[in-house]
Structure 1
Amino acid sequence: MEAECQALIEIFDRFDVTVYRTEELTDEMVAANFGEKWLVNGYMTSYSRDPIFVVGDNVIELAPGAPNRRAELLAYRKLLYDRVEPTSAKWVQMPMADARNLTDPEYTKETHAALEGGDLLVLGKTVLVGTSLNPKVGSSALGFEWLRDLLEPQGYTVERVRIGEEFLHLDVVLSVPRDGVAILCPDAFVDGIPSYFDGWDLIEVTKDQAQFLACNGMPLDPDNYILGYNDVEDGSTVQEGLEEHGITVHRIAYENHTEDGGSIRCTCHPLVRELS
């Protein structure tokens, strides 16, 4: 997985994108903050897309739905303090859920405000929030409502997008490489493809392709797109569709991340977006 990360960083370097890495999260850090018993849930820092969300001047510490993602923000503490604290950005933390509910065998994310960055997609002043029908993973309806209440007074339109229970996050079934072009899995959307994309050119993938993360690439700019591929999903459908629109595709073998449930977009999160 680290070799795959280094391949991704090499592409970022070619495009003069500054990359920051998190601290290493340890048993000692988790136990000191959550107690020894929490270690049974495990923890991870593989996918920086999920624990934070940066939109406009807002840097938001999210509340992931799964117990093994709750300690993750500890690894970001110094990075966020060094990068965000000296600026005028608004640094916000979501309400914390009662940890007893998170480890309840009958747990459902719908009892609290849960948000994970893989469900959040910024399209100018529109923010799409995915909520899987799976009751135990991803973002919740209360999480969507919390984000809407935060951002709409700032001039954003925040829309909920329901996706099938077999999908973890919105970015598993949707990617936007440039204005007017979207990569998506039509069968994943419970209420149909969002009206935002009416009149767009759509590069369509199947449910099977989406589950092997065909949609989880990363646009660098309107003309360049990073695409992960693996032994099951070679990325050819998406690559051909992008190249037909004049978009250069930068391919990375991302098999180990995919086996762990994530791909290119999951691995990174922008702190600063520069608009030309």
Structure 2
Amino acid sequence: MNLNIQNETSRLKAVILGTTKSIGAIPSIAEAYDPKSIQHIKAGTYPNEEDMEKEIEAVAAIFNKYDVTVYRPKVILDYNQIFSRDIAFVIEDKLIKANILPDREREYEAIQHILDKIEKANIIELPEECHVEGGDVMPWNDFIFIGTYSGEDYKDYITARTNMDAVIAIQELFPHKTVKAFELRKSNTDPKENALHLDCCFQPIGKDKAILHKNGFLIEKEYQWLLDFFGKDNVFEITKEEMYNMNSNVFSISEEVIISEKNFTRLNNWLREKGFIVEEVPYAEIAKQEGLLRCSTLPLIRD
């Protein structure tokens, strides 16, 4: 397999889509990885496997409609494997293994049958001190945008997933790219004040547009840089409530076609006004785990 990812929106040809099969029992609060999951565990509204299965298979059906080759992880009994973006990401022809939370190592092992199709020299494992997850990494042509957190209290945040060591390592891997890091707002307890990954508060779409949430960024000038880079007229600003509902976590099949959650009324109307084809799916149950469409997809090849 010849990997090729230059940006977030070129025509998708092959992707790994997570699975909701055999996700296991509802986790305890101590086992949860993010404040939104904790919120739903406490409220008794944590999603069930059957509902999430319908949602993720709706995405699989859209991929089929657009002739995208879909790979799935090997199912591990009683194990959550929905968010394939967390475990690896592709830039150009390189697949980089994410240094993820230790409890999730088996998720990477479950895509070994896909990794076997890739030339070994193109699979990169970063040094142990480099913490990174795919939700924080966005190739965008000559740029690589990376969400990070560099506070001295980094280790206190289970929601801090990508550190500056990883940013430096990625810059060294791709010296011809401009790597731009953004400090994200983190909270272990309040999902409305937590940008778990960069794609929870920002995402490029089309050729020159973006979805953006100001409060997800710790440093206002970094948010302003993105606003200026794309241009105010090309940016859809989402509210705190929309960020909480994961409105920036849509997924592009091409520069013209976007998969979005069916309840994102304001966003979907704006997208259509801008000329996009919006393929709506139900994804509100999966979103209860602080992840949505981009989180559950790992693009391998885009034209």
TM normalised by structure 2 equals 0.73
1:1-276 equivalences in 2 (<5 Å): 1-26=52-77, 44-64=80-100, 66-81=101-116, 83-85=117-119, 90-96=122-128, 112-132=129-149, 135-137=157-159, 138-152=161-175, 155-165=176-186, 166-192=194-220, 193=223, 195-198=225-228, 199-200=230-231, 201-229=234-262, 234-274=263-303
Cα distance in structure 2, aligned partners of 1:93 and 1:12? 29
Q: CA offsets per residue over residues 50-93 of structure 1, 9 Å max, x none? A: 111111011111101x3332332110111111x213xx861111
Give 1:22 shift.
0.9
Cα distance in structure 2, aligned partners of 1:16 and 1:191? 41
Q: CA offsets per residue over residues 203-244 of structure 1, 9 Å max, x none? A: 010122112101100011111110024xxxx20121122112
Moved more, 250-259 or 142-151: 142-151
Divergent runs of 4+, >4 A: none
Give 1:25 shift.
2.4
Give 1:26 shift.
4.5
Cα distance in structure 1, aligned partners of 2:219 and 2:85? 25
Cα distance in structure 1, aligned partners of 2:195 and 2:89? 20
Return the letter of the residue paired with 1:90. Answer: N
Cα distance in structure 1, aligned partners of 2:274 and 2:224? 22
Cα distance in structure 2, aligned partners of 1:10 and 1:262? 20
Contact 1:217 1:263 (8 Å CA) reproduced: yes
Structure 2 residue matching 1:70: 3-state secondary structure = helix
Contact 1:254 1:263 (8 Å CA) reproduced: yes
Cα distance in structure 1, aligned partners of 2:241 and 2:226? 24
Give 1:156 shift.
1.2
Provide structure 1 residue ranges, at least 5 long, that are not aligned to the other structure: 28-42, 97-111
Structure 1 residue matching 2:211: 3-state secondary structure = strand
Contact 1:162 1:189 (8 Å CA) reproduced: yes
Structure 1 residue matching 2:301: 3-state secondary structure = coil
**Count of aligned positions:** 234
Aligned twin of 1:39: none
Cα distance in structure 1, aligned partners of 2:227 and 2:122? 30
Could you say if the C-alpha distance between residues 26 and 188 of structure 1 is closer, same or farther in structure 2, counting changes exceeding 3 Å?
same
Cα distance in structure 2, aligned partners of 1:190 and 1:93? 29
Cα distance in structure 1, aligned partners of 2:95 and 2:251? 20
Provide structure 2 residue ranges, at least 5 long, that are not aligned to the other structure: 1-51, 187-193
Higher relative contact order (CA 8 A, sep 6+): 2
Contact 1:216 1:263 (8 Å CA) reproduced: yes
Return the letter of the residue paired with 1:253. Answer: P
Contact 1:216 1:228 (8 Å CA) reproduced: no
| Paired-residue identity, % | 27
